[in-house]
Chain A
Amino acid sequence: MNFLFVDSETWTITLLGWVIVLLSLFFLVGIFLLIPKIINWGVKRSLRSKGKTQITDNHLSISGETNAAIATALFLYFNQIHDEESNVITIKQVHRRYSPWNSKLYGMTNINFRR
């Protein structure tokens, strides 16, 4: 591996390529840092136009931990639902219906009986 024989174009692609990747994602970062601010500004503006001066839905901005706790509680609740049985005993009476295929009479032979 000899980097001295690598031509200048390869070095350009290497450095420029990485910088472009970095810059393009940097650009995306900028955009996505801006979007929540724009959304908040839009919400505040619409509220202001409706005559409300401040957002009263503060309880909606709950932290990730609270969300996780709620999600876990819901998961456990829905998972335990099946434990509540109907208390109906499900053993049913079995009817032995007659059929010529299981008839005892047809299975008997009279070999040992003298006629």
Chain B
Amino acid sequence: MKKAITIFTMLVVVLCIQMFLGTDASALQTVSAGTSGDTMSDLIKLWNFTGFANVQFSNLGMIGVGLFFIFLAIKYDYEPLLLIPIGVGILLGNVPFIEGYKIGLYEEGSVLNYLYFGVTQGIYPPLIFLGIGAMTDFSSLISNPKLMLLGAAAQIGIFATFLGASALGFTPQEAGAIGIIGGADGPTAIFLSSKLAPQLMGAIAIAAYSYMALVPVIQPPIMRLIVPKRERTIKMRPLRAVSKLEKVLFPLIGMLLTTFIAPSALPLLGMLFFGNLLKESGVTERLADTARNSMINIVTILLGLTVGASTQANVFLTADSMKIFGLGALSFMVATAGGLLFARLMNVFLKKENKINPLIGAAGVSAVPDSARVVQIEGLKADPNNHLLMHAMAPNVSGVIGSAVAAGILLSFLLDKM
């Protein structure tokens, strides 16, 4: 408590100095008039360059958000690989400075601006997808392809949010970029917003990643609400063994089919299946290893840091951002509910021995692998002997494919209207 009071007092003092002296430090100038002018004017210049002279409450608010993200990641282990780079990025992006010296992310020629180029031009998301492809095992999906439909059903969150954003007055392009938050897929959200609504990218990316980190909080109540206890205990048939030929054919056929349907999503889907082929072919282990470890780690650092830094208070704290956050939460809920309801609907048509546990429908929102992990935990709560993780991975990875296809479809519909 003492520490908190001390920190608060220090902040108040710093703000009071700024309020009394102002950013041009006119009070100091008055004092210095007629005295040793040069030294004083240098000091004033120095003061004007410091963050203390330029700080605003909005900057402090955003720094608080950044610290909260870091706290969530370290204390509760919520997506630490994403929240720590994003949290630090928010801190970096909100340190006040005088514009015009190539410091900030939005200033042309600054280091952060160069790194941000990968985000604005949609370079990082396909590289992340390459890594995801190289680390994903699609065998659960190949052994039970019917579960792929759950990944498609959960994409209703994207289109419902698109509708909601349109109703709130966003342009169709902006609504499309906001809608993709419902796909619960950070790289896809960044990719689509960079193409359709670059001005909203910071808010969309932060909303997408924040809600992805909060999947363990958002999903369980909806799962318990929609799926009755009796159905939560359904034990699914064990998965069949998948041959190597099937594993090699999957990325090839998947790539060709999905990119023929939605060529706009070619960078995402192409890279995802290419990464998977590197893994499954068995002859490019070195490349697969690089893609799923070193490369994805580097890109995650750059992406997280620059997306975080893009939340400069003067650009980020707007009414639109607040609307986006509201719509994002709604889209996650709709997507989860869509997956769960579709799973229950599928059970109506399936034979008794092939029934699926409707809980796995919630994993259709992609958010790999967090939502599958949530399904496993909820399944164990209903029946401690029922392990759903491998079954949930099927809709989970098909959710990634589904959200990329949805992004491609939205791009096809909306890109020509720009």
Chain A residues with a Cβ under 8 A of chain B = 1-3, 5-7, 9-11, 13-15, 17-18, 20-22, 24-29, 31-33, 35-36, 39, 61-65, 67
Contacts and interface: CB of A to CB of B under 8 A. Distances in A.
A20 B149 CA distance: 12
Interface in B229-255: 238-241, 243, 245-246, 249-250, 253-254
Contacts of B167: 1-3, 5-6
Given A6-B166, A35-B249, A24 B261 contact: yes
B155 A28 contact: no
Contacts of A10: 162-163, 166, 172, 175
A78 B160 CA distance: 51
B241 A64 contact: yes
B406 interface: yes
A98 to B, nearest CB: 50
Contacts of B261: 20, 24, 27
A61 B241 contact: yes
Given A29-B145, A32-B250, A65 B162 contact: no
Contacts of B151: 25
A18 B153 CA distance: 8
A23 to B, nearest CB: 8
B238 A21 contact: no
B409 A14 contact: no
B162 A1 contact: no
Nearest to B238: A64
A51 B213 CA distance: 58
B188 to A, nearest CB: 13
26 contacts: A3-B167, A5-B167, A6-B166, A10-B166, A13-B172, A13-B176, A13-B410, A17-B410, A17-B413, A18-B156, A18-B158, A21-B152, A21-B155, A21-B406, A22-B155, A25-B148, A25-B152, A28-B253, A28-B257, A31-B253, A32-B250, A35-B253, A39-B245, A39-B246, A64-B390, A67-B241
Q: Nearest 4 pairs between A and B by C-beta?
A: A64-B238, A32-B145, A25-B152, A10-B166
A18 B402 CA distance: 10
Contacts of B168: 1
For A3, A28, A31, A36, which residue has the most chain B Cβ atoms within 10 angstroms?
A: A28
B164 interface: yes
B148 A28 contact: yes
A32 B261 CA distance: 17
A77 B158 CA distance: 47
B152 A33 contact: no
A1 B330 CA distance: 13
Interface in B147-201: 148-149, 151-153, 155-156, 158-160, 162-164, 166-168, 172, 175-176
Contact of B243 (A27, A39, A62, A63): A39
B258 interface: yes
For B142, B175, B253, B409, which residue has the most chain A Cβ atoms within 10 angstroms?
A: B409
Nearest to B156: A18
B102 interface: no
B241 A18 contact: no
Contacts of B145: 28-29, 32-33
B181 to A, nearest CB: 15
Contacts of A11: 163
A25 B159 contact: no
B146 interface: yes
Nearest to A34: B145
B149 A24 contact: no
A1 B142 CA distance: 41
A17 B156 CA distance: 9
B398 interface: yes
Given A14-B163, A28-B145, A65-B238, 19 more contacts: A3-B163, A3-B167, A6-B163, A10-B162, A13-B159, A13-B410, A17-B158, A20-B409, A21-B155, A21-B409, A22-B149, A25-B151, A25-B405, A27-B261, A32-B142, A32-B253, A33-B145, A35-B246, A64-B238
Contacts of A25: 148-149, 151-152, 398, 401-402, 405
A22 B142 contact: no
B258 A24 contact: yes
B262 interface: yes
A3 B160 CA distance: 11
Nearest to A10: B166
B262 A24 contact: yes
Nearest to A24: B261
Contacts of A21: 152, 155, 402, 405-406, 409
